[in-house]
Chains A and B, each alone.
Chain A
């Protein structure tokens, strides 16, 4: 694929940005490098009303390029953690995070692998994922799509998901929305039967069969599974010159 003029990281940034299409005046939280760049690209291309923050407590009106800061932040507001909780519980946010495991109903795990009393691998803890996923739109980015990350059942459900058995009567499910899953191989949503994860497109060079082999569960397929759109000239310009001039994205996903 040496003839193409974009990298897989850049294609994934564009696919991440697409998840934010149609979002209005809400906070776009991209956690992790490519989700963050995707949120920035969405704001600078088709969702200009999005709010962005600096992962600490500042709302900014322009994406912050990762790496050394060469310009002052374009501050437009204050968002300490307490206000983050208020904002997200009020639904005015779309977060894209990078789970360690993800299953067919959208349950993600960033907490631990193995036995809860003595994990084989202790990860971060659930962080704000339970509150995020039940209160506002959430998407996921998986940089290393394989049967180890896209699993039949997560070791710990840090998030909500679409398994009906886990929803008690009277609990409101309608505030949350699991929107997109972008991986290094493909793009999914949850439009399958009973909100099963559904394949929307495969990245150039990938096949549906290959993606199926790399996935630890059976997923639904869109009526016509296409190829993930490749970055256009303007998107590449924004990525390379504006939102990531330091090329921190190089190597973020393996080619």
Chain B
């Protein structure tokens, strides 16, 4: 079995109007090479489901996002994403499903295990309930009769995630400290695409980290894409940290159309190899230390 794909062939399988889940968290281990491939494509009207980072701002700035399902959008070391803010404040992204972070993983889990909803308390009594009239509550069928939030399954057409290593069969390894919810994003999606720093022979991969690092088994993946620095400018610890310098440059372009078009020409409208060169290559990025929060 060989699940190797290119970023371009991944994006060729996506369609306008799809609901796409994006793995990682904020400015950490985002599948940015795949996001930039989407940015270069004609895809539009996308619904993004995400613990949001710069992918939200970039795709909003290009007018590709119809709806956002999120708990936050943050660049971590920079609290807010300037392009996401600009889109929201200009009225270009009125359709949002803003929910608690825990509700989001619960919705993914429900989709993964094929139940229509999972109960929780998060969201009750807040404007998450008031502003999302589609959310329903459920009464416990047991004697307690407690009324709970029925977090609906967040079914995804596709998921994109970035990990350290994959093998050709689609097993994926995360060497960083937190697997986030990448397995749930994959589990909730019909098509699952994983970019990685390197595709390795299986035994070489499993020798590099403890068994707990093998967070994606191959039932959760359809395609693997080798993309060194594929999470940049977000972190892929231990290989590289968050590129704060780059995120500052990216953020500054939200206030000026010319700056944004220069950024886009230099970093978005180029293939991945050219991107890696433009950001200083593995030599520079590999020296960015893990972030301290």
Residues of A within 8 A of B (CB): 54-58, 69, 78, 80-82, 85, 88-89, 107, 111-112, 116-131, 133-135, 156-161, 166-173, 175
Do B91 and A130 touch (CB < 8 A)? no
Apart from A125-B52, A127-B72, A127-B101, list 5 A-B contacts with CB within 8 A: A85-B101, A124-B73, A128-B102, A134-B122, A135-B121
Chain A residues in 8 Å Cβ range of B198: none
Chain B hits for A158, CB < 8 A: 126-128
A104 CB to nearest chain B CB (Å): 16
Distance, CA A55 to CA B177, complexed state (A): 12
Determine whether the beta carbon of B125 is less than 8 Å from that of A119. Answer: no
The one of A58, A128, A157, A171 in contact with B101, judged by C-beta atoms closer than 8 angstroms, is A128
- Inter-chain contact B181/A81, CB cutoff 8 Å: yes
B190 part of interface (Cβ distance < 8 Å): no
- Interfacial chain A residues near B178, Cβ < 8 Å: 56-57, 80-81
Decide if B73 touches A125 in the complex (CB within 8 Å): yes
Contact B126 A157 (CB under 8 A): yes
Nearest-CB residue, chain B, relative to A78: B177
Rounded to whole Å, the gap between the CB of A72 and the closest CB of chain B is 13
Measured CA separation A129–B147 after assembly (Å): 19
A213 to chain B, nearest CB (A): 28
10 interchain residue pairs of minimum CB distance? A131-B122, A170-B147, A118-B91, A125-B72, A55-B293, A117-B94, A122-B88, A130-B100, A80-B178, A160-B125
CA A160 to CA B181, docked complex, whole Å? 26
Measured CB to CB, the residues of B under 8 A from A are 25, 52, 70-74, 79-80, 84-85, 88-91, 94, 96, 98-103, 105, 120-128, 130-131, 137, 139, 145-148, 177-181, 291-293
Is the pair A131, B72 in contact by a Cβ cutoff of 8 Å? no
Contact check, B72 vs A124: say whether CB atoms are below 8 A apart: yes
Which B residues lie within 8 Å of A129 (CB)? Answer: 100, 126
28 contacts between A and B (CB under 8 A): A78-B177, A80-B178, A80-B180, A81-B25, A82-B179, A82-B181, A88-B102, A89-B102, A89-B120, A89-B121, A117-B94, A122-B85, A122-B89, A125-B52, A127-B71, A127-B72, A130-B123, A130-B124, A131-B101, A131-B120, A134-B122, A157-B126, A160-B125, A161-B125, A166-B125, A169-B147, A170-B146, A171-B125
A171 engages B147 (CB within 8 Å): yes
What residues of chain B lie closer than 8 Å to A171, measured between beta carbons?
121, 124-125, 137, 146-148
| A168 to chain B: closest residue by CB | B147
Q: Known contacts A118-B94, A126-B128; is A54 also within 8 Å of B89 by CB?
A: no
With a cutoff of 8 Å between Cβ atoms, the chain B residues found around residue A135 in the complex are 121-122
> Are the CB atoms of A118 and B125 closer together than 8 Å?
no
Q: How far is the CA of A56 from the CA of B45 in the complex (A)?
A: 33
CA distance in complex: A55, B102 (Å):
16
Chain B residue with Cβ nearest A162: B125
Question: Which A residues are in CB contact (< 8 Å) with B125?
Answer: 134, 160-161, 166-168, 171, 173
Q: Please state if A134 and B124 are interface contacts (CB–CB under 8 Å).
A: yes
Decide yes or no: A119 and B88 within 8 Å by CB, A57-B178, A171-B147 being known contacts.
Answer: yes
Bound state CA distance, A158 and B122, in angstroms? 11
Given the complex of chains A and B, what is the CA–CA distance between A166 and B98 in angstroms?
18
- Neighbouring A residues of B137 by C-beta, 8 Å: 168, 171
Q: Are B72 and A120 in contact (CB under 8 A)?
A: no
When the two chains form their complex, are residues B79 and A80 in contact, meaning their CB atoms are under 8 A apart? no
Interfacial chain A residues near B72, Cβ < 8 Å: 124-127
Closest CB of chain A to B250's CB: distance in Å? 17
CB-CB under 8 A from A117, the residues of chain B are: 91, 94
Q: Is A128 a contact partner of B100 (Cβ separation < 8 A)?
A: yes
The smallest beta-carbon distance between A224 and chain B, in angstroms, is 32
A125–B74 Cα distance when bound, in Å, is 9
Q: Is the CB of A120 within 8 A of B89?
A: yes
Q: A118 near B88 (CB under 8 angstroms)?
A: yes
Instruction: Quote the shortest CB–CB distance from B96 to chain A (angstroms).
Output: 8
Contact between chains at B126 and A130 (CB < 8 Å) = yes
Cβ A116 vs Cβ B131 within 8 A: yes
Asked whether, in the complex, the Cβ of B71 is within 8 Å of the Cβ of A126, the reply is yes
Chain B residue, CB-CB nearest to A86: B102
For the complex, give the distance between the alpha carbons of A118 and B95 in Å: 10
Among B99, B122, B128, the residue within 8 A (CB) of A89 is B122
Chain B residues with Cβ below 8 Å from A125 are 52, 70-73, 98
Residue of A nearest to B25 (CB): A81
Contact A157 B127 (CB under 8 A): yes
By a CB distance below 8 angstroms, the chain B residues around A175 are 121
Question: What's the least CB distance linking B104 to chain A, in Å?
Answer: 10
